[in-house]
Structure 1
Amino acid sequence: MSNPSRLRPRGASALNGLRGVAAIALLFAPFSARSAGLASSAEYIVGFVRYVHWDHEEDVVAWQVCVGDGVAPQTDRAYAGQMVRGKRFAVRRVTLNDDVSTCHVLDLSGADAASEAALLRKANRLPILTVGHGSNFCSLGGVLCLRLGDPEQKFEINLSAVKESGLNVSARLLMLGSNRFGATEGP
């Protein structure tokens, strides 16, 4: 005999299934360029921060986004009013001479190749979410590599760089990006 507390009206299971699909669609919405119209690194970074956790982040007052040379100044405004886990974003411009150890995110999406490589070396093995453009950025050790011109896959995740950084990246984000290993490591 069935347990009456487990009985549901006919169709309730289908309704719950639809709710689950809707929840999944909402969860992944920040990364669907077609539905959300995302075009800039800042828009993606806000979404990425939702799925990345740092040690002792409860002590963080604001997410420190360090922006390399070449990123358009209007990008700073894309962070205005944005909040993730109750914390706002603070944007700071960095050059090759600056310390990046206090950055949570290092946006190198507009940096020239020499600056990109030098700043990535500074961020190496630090808990910094490094974001740049193209597969070459991942080969240099970047964590998240945007491919905004690709209609199918908008970003890659460098699993070797994630491991070296000590960041805790949600499995949800790992499922959305294409995963790769650094240039010297294999799966």
Structure 2
Amino acid sequence: MTVAGKRMTGCVHSLLLAVLLLMAGPARADDSATSVQAQQRAKAVTQVVLGILSYARWPADPVPLRLCLVGPTEYADDLIKGNLQNSGQPLQVRRLLADDREVAQACDAVYIGKLDHGQRDRLFQAVSGHPVLSISEADDPCTVGSLFCLRVSDQQVAFEVNLDSVARSGVRIHPSVLQLSRRRAVQP
């Protein structure tokens, strides 16, 4: 191969490399945009959860309020960072295993991530009869156990309320939160 041929091959390789890098740029931009959206969703979930907690009343006012994260969660990172509720009251956040026997005594509220049906059943059995507010993050039909079920999208974080679970929980929820859940559920 001649020097001119080597230069031509080198130019072709350089051109191909440049094209590949240009094509990879939008993929990185998409990843960055997705990361920003995920952070925005996490912040929105945090605001909704803190709002729900601020409108809940326990038989005895817990200070600090103990929020336990149970199971793998997608949007709880900001909850772990914060240590104050919207009211300024202290918030203690920690992770527990789904089958932790102390969940009812260690938690005033549980934020539930992805659990299998058996784990969910055992968790709800453990908190049954105790004033524990439960919020499900994962795709939960909101028919069994959880008081609140989040509906997270890029546009908004909405929630559903399981009135039967609220009535059984021993935790009182301000009526305006119940009304808010109805309005948000109706929005497209």
Gaps of 5+ in 2: 1-39, 184-188
1:134 is aligned, of 134, 139, 159, to: 139
1:154 to partner: Cα distance:
1.1
TM-score (normalizing by structure 1): 0.63
Write out per-residue CA displacement over residues 51-72 of structure 1, whole angstroms, 9 at most, x where no aligned residue.
1111120xx2211011112125
Gaps of 5+ in 1: 1-36, 180-187
Q: 1:42 to 1:70 in 2, by over 3 A?
A: same
Give 2:96's aligned residue.
94
More helix by share: 2
Determine if contact 2:41/2:75 at 8 Å carries over to the other structure: no
Determine if contact 2:110/2:133 at 8 Å carries over to the other structure: yes
1:122 to partner: Cα distance:
1.2
Question: Structure 1 vs Structure 2: percent identity of aligned residues?
Answer: 23
Output the CA distance in 1 between the equivalents of 2:76 and 2:42: 13
1:126 to partner: Cα distance:
1.8
1:20-169 correspondence to structure 2 within 5 Å: 38-39=41-42, 41-57=45-61, 60-71=62-73, 75=77, 78-95=80-97, 96-102=99-105, 103-132=107-136, 133-136=138-141, 138-149=142-153, 154-169=158-173
Partner SS, residue 72 of structure 2: coil
Output the CA distance in 2 between the equivalents of 1:73 and 1:44: 11
Determine if contact 1:46/1:79 at 8 Å carries over to the other structure: no
Write out per-residue CA displacement over residues 79-119 of structure 1, whole angstroms, 9 at most, x where no aligned residue.
42433434211112212033112311111133344322321
Output the CA distance in 2 between the equivalents of 1:42 and 1:111: 20
Output the CA distance in 1 between the equivalents of 2:83 and 2:69: 18
Give the aligned CA root-mean-square deviation in angstroms.
Answer: 2.8
Q: Could you list the runs of 4 or more consecutive aligned residues of structure 1 that deviate by over 6 angstroms after TM superposition?
A: none
Determine if contact 1:65/1:104 at 8 Å carries over to the other structure: yes
TM-score (normalizing by structure 2): 0.63
Q: Which amino acid aligns with 1:67?
A: L
Give 1:12's aligned residue.
none
